[in-house]
């Protein structure tokens, strides 16, 4: 499995395309996440005769540098546009989206803005707006020096200790700014989503409030909701086999 790089408007985009399936699925990582930090369990375990996977390092993260990542309140809308342009450059006009956390937000934006391109949407840990209590939770984990070594080591290996600390703090500050400016991420777009949609949520998710999953389920016509009662924010790691099978069946049914 060999990653490739492509230039999009002066931005390096690192991506991996693997598999031989007729159904193409684009996987979008979370904040500061990369192909392998976020989706190794999916890449290695999916049935690649059924699906073709496209996975990327979002702009300015991982190997999608230079340039380095800068943050503003359009961060997820910007990611969504780069994602769409990547698939255009790869000559893939229709595909399904699998998004986690920040990648889930970008996926919601893509599906709402470009409904004619998206065959199915599966997301967990995403949201169309942010709550005050979520901001308070992010403030508690802003200082990465207080993280466990198991949590911060993979990111420090990619970015280095100093840059990871700076990137994470900037990301947290930007999300707080979005909240203060009443930036709803994509709340006005989600009613435009027409594709079959599966919303997954972990009952023990301490980052994304459970109300988001219920809200998205109510707002996206015909969507389905699945709860992993003991799942955390990164439920796709613990429940990789079950979630992979769920995603495969959902995409194949479209």
Q: Which of 201, 212, 233, 236 is catalytic?
A: 233
Only one residue has tokens 């993979």, namely 154
With CA atoms as reference, report the closest residue to 222 among 201, 242, 199.
Answer: 199
Q: Tokens for 136?
A: 């308070």
* Residue from 126, 100, 117 nearest 29 by CA: 100
- Which residue out of 205, 212, 223, 236 is catalytically annotated? 205
Q: Is 101 a catalytic residue?
A: yes
Backbone angles phi, psi at 89, to 5 degrees: -65, -30
Active-site residue flag, 205: yes
Q: Which helix (H) or strand (E) holds 42?
A: helix 35-45
- The catalytically annotated residue of 101, 107, 128, 223 is 101
Q: How far is the C-alpha of 171 from the C-alpha of 147, rounded, in Å? A: 16
How many of the other CB atoms lie within 10 Å of CB of 169?
13
Question: Which residue numbers are catalytic?
Answer: 101, 205, 233
């Amino acid at each position: 499995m060999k990653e490739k790089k492509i230039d999009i408007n002066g931005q390096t985009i690192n991506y991996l395309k693997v598999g031989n399936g007729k159904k193409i699925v684009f996987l979008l990582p979370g904040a500061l996440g990369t192909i392998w930090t976020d989706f190794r369990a999916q890449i290695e375990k999916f049935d690649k005769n059924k699906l073709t996977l496209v996975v990327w390092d979002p702009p300015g993260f991982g190997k999608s540098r230079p340039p380095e990542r800068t943050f503003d309140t359009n961060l997820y809308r910007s990611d969504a546009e780069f994602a769409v342009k990547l698939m255009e450059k790869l000559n893939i006009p229709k595909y399904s989206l699998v998004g986690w956390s920040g990648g889930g937000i970008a996926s919601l934006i893509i599906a709402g803005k470009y409904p004619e391109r998206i065959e199915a949407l599966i997301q967990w840990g995403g949201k169309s707006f942010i709550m005050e209590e979520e901001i308070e939770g992010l403030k508690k984990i802003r200082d990465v020096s207080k993280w466990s070594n198991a949590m911060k080591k993979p990111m420090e290996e990619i970015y280095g200790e100093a840059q990871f600390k700076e990137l994470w703090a900037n990301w947290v500050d930007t999300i707080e700014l979005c909240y203060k400016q009443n930036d709803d991420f994509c709340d006005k777009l989600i009613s435009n989503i027409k594709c079959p949609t599966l919303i997954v949520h972990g009952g023990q998710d301490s980052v994304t409030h459970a109300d988001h999953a219920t809200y998205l389920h109510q707002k996206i016509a015909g969507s389905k909701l699945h709860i992993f009662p003991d799942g955390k924010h990164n439920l796709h790691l613990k429940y990789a086999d079950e979630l992979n099978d769920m995603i495969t069946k959902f995409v194949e049914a479209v």
